[in-house]
């Protein structure tokens, strides 16, 4: 199993963000990524939103970044660790510009870009940006196909409902070929079908642990899945979060207090098909305690699970 780190102070979601995070600067967040790299974590990642309706502020907050811009900053502060999003809300981006931004990140980072594609859930966010919310799934599928064409073809062309280009050139290509690593985030059957067709991995959000095997089986049975290497990311942290970022009191939302409890929990997740996880910390007093927890997981858990 591989272990990732969700970078702190990249969202202010009431269910999981801790108060001390709010004071962290960009340099301190980059420092977390550098420390994760030194400790042997596989990836760091961060979320994305562009605006928050005031009715959602209490639970969702308004502290989010443009994912690719933030990933580029983190990539510049690190050398080897993968830099991921969780998630990039693809329908809210122009696909040609998104393809260029992600390829740029991959090129400058030496092939460390990773994106988790999501369709989002905030209709108001779509309305303000001018993208039809009810078409977001179709838009995502077409945008992905167009981006893959730009990344992989020497003479890219595409003729779709939402994207059209021909007689163009696109470079530099991403370092990773045929493309940067792409995961799909979400829980609906449409997400699983999209992951089977386009993805290198799947990251659920509202799925419960005992639901994972059936959903993984469904994904692998879909057209387009070809038994390629495939990741399944799952963290118990999601058990604290309900729909629209509601706070959920679930005793299973933490991995355990002792190293052996965490190791056993990771083993159970692996038996369910999970390949990547984030051991979310318990409530902590400050940033130093968070760094200590990262080091504790790296020293006491990862060598015995990974």
Whether residue 306 is predicted with pLDDT greater than 70 in this model: the reply is: no
80-126 confidence digits (pLDDT tens) = 999 999 999 999 999 999 999 999 999 999 999 999 999 999 999 99
Q: What is the CA radius of gyration of the chain?
A: 19
The answer, yes or no, to whether residue 278 has pLDDT greater than 80, is yes
Q: What is the pLDDT of residues 8-26, one digit of tens each?
A: 999 999 999 999 999 999 9
- Neighbouring CB atoms inside 10 A of 107's CB total 17
Residue 219, domain extent: 2-304
Whether residue 215 is predicted with pLDDT greater than 90 in this model: the reply is yes
Torsion of CA 150, 152, 158, 161, to 10 degrees: -80
Give the orientation angle of helix 67-77 with respect to helix 26-39, to 10 degrees: 60
Which residues are 214's β-sheet partners? none
If pLDDT is split at 50, 70 and 90, which confidence band does 251 have? confident
pLDDT at 132 over 90: yes
Q: CATH code at 81?
A: 3.20.20.30
**pLDDT band at 298, cuts 50/70/90?**
very high
Contact, 32 vs 5, CB < 8 A? yes
Structure tokens at 54: 């005031």
Number of folded domains in the chain? 1
CA-to-CA dists, residue 304 to 264, 277, 281, angstroms:
10, 14, 18
**How many Å apart are CA 161 and CA 231, to the nearest integer?**
30
Residue 283: predicted pLDDT: 95
- Give the span between the Cα atoms of 157 and 169, in whole angstroms: 9
What's the whole-number average pLDDT of the chain? Answer: 97
**Which of 64-68, 253-257, 297-301 comes out lowest in average pLDDT?**
253-257
Residue 203 has pLDDT above 90, yes or no: yes
Question: Cα(197)–Cα(47) distance, rounded to whole angstroms?
Answer: 23
Summarize pLDDT for 140-154 with one digit per residue, the tens: 999 999 999 999 999
Q: Which residues of 4-19 are buried (b: 16+ CB within 10 A; e: fewer)?
A: bbbbbbbbbbebbbbe
Report the percentage of the chain scoring pLDDT > 70.
Answer: 100
Give the integer Cα–Cα distance in Å for 298 and 280: 13
**What are the residues facing 241 on neighbouring strands?**
247
């Amino acid at each position: 199993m591989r272990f990732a780190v969700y970078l702190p102070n990249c969202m202010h979601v009431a269910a999981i963000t801790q108060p001390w995070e709010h004071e962290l600067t960009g340099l301190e967040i980059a420092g977390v990524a550098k420390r994760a790299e030194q400790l042997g974590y596989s990836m760091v990642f961060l979320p994305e939103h562009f605006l928050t309706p005031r009715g959602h502020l209490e639970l969702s907050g308004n502290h989010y970044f443009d994912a690719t811009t933030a990933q580029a900053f983190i990539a510049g502060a690190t050398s080897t660790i993968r830099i991921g999003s969780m998630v990039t809300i693809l329908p809210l981006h122009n696909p040609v510009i998104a393809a260029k931004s992600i390829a740029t990140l991959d090129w400058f980072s030496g092939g460390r870009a990773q994106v988790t594609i999501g369709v989002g859930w905030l209709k108001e966010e779509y309305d303000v940006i001018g993208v039809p919310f009810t078409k977001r799934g179709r838009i995502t599928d077409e945008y992905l196909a167009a981006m893959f064409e730009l990344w992989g073809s020497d003479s890219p062309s595409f003729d779709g409902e939402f994207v059209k280009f021909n007689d163009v050139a696109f470079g530099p290509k991403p370092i990773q070929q045929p493309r940067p690593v792409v995961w799909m985030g979400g829980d609906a059957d449409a997400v699983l079908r999209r992951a089977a067709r386009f993805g290198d991995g799947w990251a659920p959000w509202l799925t419960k642990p005992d639901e994972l095997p059936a959903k993984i089986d469904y994904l692998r049975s879909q057209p387009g899945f070809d038994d390629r290497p495939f990741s399944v990311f799952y963290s118990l942290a999601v058990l604290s979060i309900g729909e629209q970022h509601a706070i959920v009191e679930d005793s299973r939302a933490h991995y355990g207090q002792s190293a052996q409890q965490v190791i056993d929990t990771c083993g159970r997740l692996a038996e369910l098909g999970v390949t990547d996880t984030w051991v979310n910390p318990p409530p902590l007093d400050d940033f130093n305690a968070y760094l200590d927890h990262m080091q504790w997981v790296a020293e006491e858990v990862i060598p015995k699970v990974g």
